Chains A and B, each alone.
Chain A
Amino acid sequence: MARTSGPAGVTRRHGWLSPAGALVLPLAAWELMSRAVLNPALVPPPSVVAQTAYGMLQNGELFVHIAISLRRIFLGFLLGWASGMVLGAVAARSALVWDALRPLLAVCSAVPPIALIPLVMVWFGIDEPARLFLIVYLAAVLMVPSTMSGVRNIAPIRIRAAESLGARRADIYLRIMLPDAFPFILTGLRITLGFCFMVVVAAEMIGANSGIGYLIMQSRYYAVTTKMFVGILVLGVMGVGFDALFRRLVAVALPRFAVEKRTG
């Protein structure tokens, strides 16, 4: 049973329509277009892509690519989140740090990671550290502004009240500042995670020999369109899947901060 909210949050049931079922129409359209209108050698129909994907699953190839990309994404995401959050928290509390950081951050957030690949390759090499760096860098750059918004949202009077009651520094951080800042940080996290999924393709252009991004670019380079589409599809599904997972996680574990289905 699918439910979506209408204006002012009225919930409707859709009966036989479900999110999975909603994919049937686009897939059918694609199948038709590919066979009838476009060139199936250039745009393989979903049936062929599914076949290829199945073969890749059977020989374990696909699983390896997915696992490695996920590892990169999450490792980069966590490291970037941590560093971005620390930087953002410090910058929000100290005008000096903010001023020092601002020019660098302005440039960094304006340059798309893919443009940095040649530089990263030359500076960090062509192994995992270089790939991780790209992801960590993006995640950190994205987390700083949302952390700062979050920290700025903290009501100072609550901090002062806690201090006057003799609360320890750690308690103030954990029980007052963190919950107040968290909604902003959470939104930033969600966006950052989405971007990390996107940037892994760019990161895997740096000397990788496995991964979903590698699969896509490699297949594209050798004109093996079926595998390329498998890669693109898996990437899309992963992105949507983990976003949904993230929202579910928040809704279940931190119901106070449940993220509404907003700007996607």
Chain B
Amino acid sequence: MRGGRTRLGLVAGAVITVLAWPGAVRADHGNSVTAFSGPFPHFAPLFIADAKGFFKKHGVNATVRLFDSGGAASAAFRGGRADFLSGCDFPTISLLQVEDAIVLAPIEHDTDSIMISAREGIGALKDLKGKKVGVPLRSTSEFFTFRALKDVGLGPKDVEIVNLGPADMLPAVVRGDIDVASWWQPFGWRAEEASGGKVRTLVTAKGYYTLWCPISARRKYVEEHPKETVAALKALHDAVQWLNQAPLDEKAAAVTEYAKSELKTTRQLMALLTYDMTETAEYRTALKEMEEFMLKAGLIKKAVDWEKVRGSRYLREVNPALVK
């Protein structure tokens, strides 16, 4: 009995020590700018602006919080706890439905990170007919999938759509529960590895559409703090320039460290991405096309008033050449 109590005391002591271990909760600095983002290298300008001190350089006291996904970041943004949000086209337009936000500038675009993988035996898009296609609905991939299908004359009824997140699609496509996975890197690479080559890239978004990832901000914040907004944009622009002149290894290492991701994957992914804050006609058209798709599919109810929503005038103050 006494031996039992001694042992118990030791265990209790160990437990208490563990509990007293300081938590990893970062204290809120009470900063003037908070930005939420997903941890993907698409949003690297945000990370670099923080990590390399560009925010500080322009007098912006920024806190950047990373979330598991763009969706989680959006949900948190709506809770009113951030001023800036980086996301891709689809989540950004969804956000505009419920939040009075301004889309300030694109920070990245690419055509190869969004792609479709398929099991052996499926050689071309038209082979998708009648097959099981995994698509994370309510995402950019939904748009891409139907766009690609339309191109070969197939409609949503011609395939069997299975709604899955990319993490769940991975075992599904490797096992063969689904024949096709419409998703984004690095899942395509992972599936290829895990399946020993049975699952390969069928097609990327190249030729179909370009993924654009803009940075948005709460309208109230922007209108009350125009100077800080421009300063933040300037910092991001510096970051973009840094990214464009840094060698791949260096920038991949910086982003991996910041986002606590995996170096090999980050590096592979960053080789596909273009960082650029120029607001081009192509960018404007791409967002409009996405909006149209979402309206037609009933995913959003109101059309976006692009004149009101675009933050070009702030971008112009960073550098007039950025707005084409």
Please say whether the chains A and B touch (CB closer than 8 A): yes
Contact A210 to B190, CB < 8 A, known contacts A70-B18, A118-B75, A252-B8: no
Contacts of A217 in B (CB 8 A): 68
B2 to nearest A CB, angstroms? Answer: 10
Complex Cα spacing A80 to B193, Å: 46
A220 adjacent to B21 (CB under 8 Å) = no
Query: Across the two chains, which residue of chain B brings its CB closest to A73?
Result: B19
A64 adjacent to B8 (CB under 8 Å) = no
Contacts of B76 in A (CB 8 A): 121, 125-126, 207
A237 to nearest B CB, angstroms? Answer: 14
Complex Cα spacing A218 to B28, Å: 23
B68 adjacent to A122 (CB under 8 Å) = no
Query: Across the two chains, which residue of chain B brings its CB closest to A43?
Result: B171
B24 adjacent to A207 (CB under 8 Å) = no
B19 adjacent to A74 (CB under 8 Å) = yes
Contact A68 to B79, CB < 8 A, known contacts A42-B171, A42-B175, A223-B170: no
A155 to nearest B CB, angstroms? Answer: 30
Contacts of A67 in B (CB 8 A): 18-19, 21
A11 within 8 A of B: no
Complex Cα spacing A209 to B190, Å: 24
A71 adjacent to B265 (CB under 8 Å) = no
Interface size class of A (residues with CB under 8 A): 20 to 34
B21 adjacent to A122 (CB under 8 Å) = no
Query: Across the two chains, which residue of chain B brings its CB closest to A118?
Result: B75
Interface size class of B (residues with CB under 8 A): 35 or more
Contacts of A163 in B (CB 8 A): none
Contacts of A118 in B (CB 8 A): 75
Interface centre among B1, B68, B190, B261 (most CB of A within 10 A): B68
B39 to nearest A CB, angstroms? Answer: 9
Complex Cα spacing A248 to B186, Å: 47
Contacts of A209 in B (CB 8 A): 24, 66, 260
Contacts of B4 in A (CB 8 A): 248, 252
Contacts of B66 in A (CB 8 A): 209
Interface string of B57-70 (1 = CB under 8 A from A): 00000000111110
B75 to nearest A CB, angstroms? Answer: 5
Partner of A121, one of B18, B79, B175, B262: B79
A248 adjacent to B79 (CB under 8 Å) = no
Query: Across the two chains, which residue of chain B brings its CB closest to A130?
Result: B79
A222 within 8 A of B: yes
Query: Across the two chains, which residue of chain B brings its CB closest to A219?
Result: B167
B65 to nearest A CB, angstroms? Answer: 7
Contacts of B75 in A (CB 8 A): 118, 121-122
Contact A207 to B67, CB < 8 A, known contacts A41-B174, A41-B194: yes
B193 adjacent to A41 (CB under 8 Å) = yes
Query: Across the two chains, which residue of chain A brings its CB closest to B172?
Result: A42
Interface centre among A41, A68, A248 (most CB of B within 10 A): A41
Contacts of A116 in B (CB 8 A): none
Contact A126 to B167, CB < 8 A, known contacts A68-B23, A252-B4, A252-B5: no
Partner of A220, one of B1, B167, B260: B167
A221 within 8 A of B: yes
A171 within 8 A of B: no
A227 to nearest B CB, angstroms? Answer: 10
A-B contact pairs, 28 of them (CB 8 A): A39-B195, A42-B194, A64-B21, A68-B21, A71-B19, A71-B23, A118-B75, A121-B72, A121-B75, A121-B79, A122-B79, A125-B76, A125-B79, A126-B79, A205-B72, A207-B65, A207-B72, A207-B76, A209-B24, A218-B68, A220-B167, A223-B166, A245-B15, A248-B4, A249-B12, A252-B4, A252-B5, A253-B8
Closest 9 CB pairs of A and B: A41-B194, A67-B21, A126-B76, A122-B79, A210-B24, A223-B190, A128-B25, A42-B171, A220-B167
Given contacts A68-B23, A122-B79, A222-B262, 17 further A-B contacts (CB under 8 A): A39-B171, A41-B174, A41-B193, A42-B170, A64-B24, A66-B18, A71-B18, A121-B72, A125-B76, A126-B67, A127-B28, A207-B72, A209-B260, A223-B170, A223-B186, A249-B12, A252-B4
